[in-house]
Each structure stands twice: as structure tokens, then as C-alpha cells.
Amino acid sequence: MSSQQILAGFHAVTARLRHAPSTIQQIYIDASRQDKRMAGLMSQAEAAGLKCSAVPAERLDGLARGTRHQGVVALAQANELANDLDEILDTLEAQGTAPFLLLLDGVTDPHNLGACLRTADAAGVHAVIAPRDRAVGLNATVQRVACGAAETVPYLMVTNLARTMRHLKTRDVWVVGTDDQASGDLYQVQARRPMAWVMGAEGEGMRRLTRETCDELVRLPMLGAVESLNVSVASAICLYETVRQRQSA
């Protein structure tokens, strides 16, 4: 992953200003915009000791590289929330908190990843994990769609997802995969324990080795005519079943 990120749109830029302003190198704004929302962003940047450079909209189009920017683009250093899964697990163990993780096997659509991060933040997920060779990174589109969640939820890209799953098992994390052929459904999962949900790629589902490495496979009940759900929607359903069980404990 590149050490520099392009943040496009108000949500992505203001979230970085809130959580890690020191990583921002430059903010560019549309010279023709003088509305209240832009004034608020400029005030937030000034409070962080940063200045906004007014440029033509065409310059922003070039910087954003096809991502909808709403008149604001920032160049920033990558904001590393966590580099090591064991560091996260050790911290949670010290706090007496049951780990709650989301593993994405081969999600390559930036809109889906952004939506998954947004839901993960809302549900209190401690980290989202994906393989380096079959996943999208935190690009400008992901940052925009995540609406700030990319600044709060660690996104770890690992060399080998199955190996990471086996390591999670050694740390007593129960690994649950979703598969439309599974006999049990998600409502049978005991989600109060330390656990990780594993979601498959758009259209293809989990790879064979990923599926075989899970401790448990469950399906989402499908009562209508469609055969599957978008990965971000399926993730939301599973994550909030964990939230429901843990809040009712």
C-alpha cells in the first residue's frame, strides 16, 4: 500500500482532520465554493494548523482520479491504526473484552469495502482483515464511501488469510464463515464468545481453503426469489446479530 493517500470528499477529509490531522500534507478546495459547508471545513483545518489551497475544479478532478470529491481533496500520509493483529488481541485481552472481527475473503469492489468498514465501525468491530492479493486497499473511493470509518476501524491486509484464521484459533477466537449451503443459520451462532465473521467475495463466495478453515459455517435465511445478498449487506446482518446477542447478555 502506498504511503500517501488521496482523501476525496467532505466525510473523508473531515474524519481525518478529527482523528489524525498530523498526517495531512495538503488540502485543496474548489475556488468557486463559498458555502457554509466549505467554510466549516476551512475552520476545522485552520484549528488543526492547516491551510486550504483554493484551486480550479479541474485540478481537483485530476487529484481525485475519478473519485467524486465534492470540491475538496486532501493528500495525506497513510494513517496506520494498527499494524499487528496480536497487538489488537493483546489489548482486548488486557481489557477483558471479547474480540469481534470481520474477515473479508477477496472483496475487490471499493464501494463494498467502504460500506463494510462503515458498518464495522457502527457495530463496534475491532478490526477488518483481508488478504493482500485478493482485496482492495484503502483508496479514495473506499475512504469516501466509508464516511470516516476508515479512520476508526483498523484494516489489516495479511499475506495468507487461512494462516491468519488458524492463528486466531490459537488465540481462542471462534471463526464463523457464511455459506449458502450450510445446514445451520446465523441465529444459531453463539456470538458472545470471541469471534470472527468471514464473508466471501462478491459472486464467488469464500475460497475453498478459507471455507475449510472455519470453525463453523452458517447461512443467511433467504425467503424470497434472490439467491444471495451483497457482501456489505450480508456483513451488516451478521455483525448486528453479534451486537444483539452481546447487548442482551
Numbered residues of the known binding site for S-adenosyl-L-methionine = 200, 220, 229
| Known binding-site residue numbers | 200, 220, 229
Closest by Cα among 123, 129, 124, 118 to 154: 129
C-alpha–C-alpha distance, residues 177 and 205, integer Å: 10
Residues 6+ apart with CB under 8 A from 248: none
**Sign, Cα dihedral of 116, 117, 123, 128:** positive
Closest by Cα among 128, 141, 127 to 7: 141
Q: Cβ(140)–Cβ(7) under 8 Å?
A: yes
C-alpha–C-alpha distance, residues 69 and 126, integer Å: 28
Closest by Cα among 118, 92, 104, 123 to 241: 123
Closest by Cα among 94, 109, 96, 88 to 196: 88
| Residue 171 exposed, middle or buried by CB count within 10 Å (0-12, 13-18, 19+) | middle
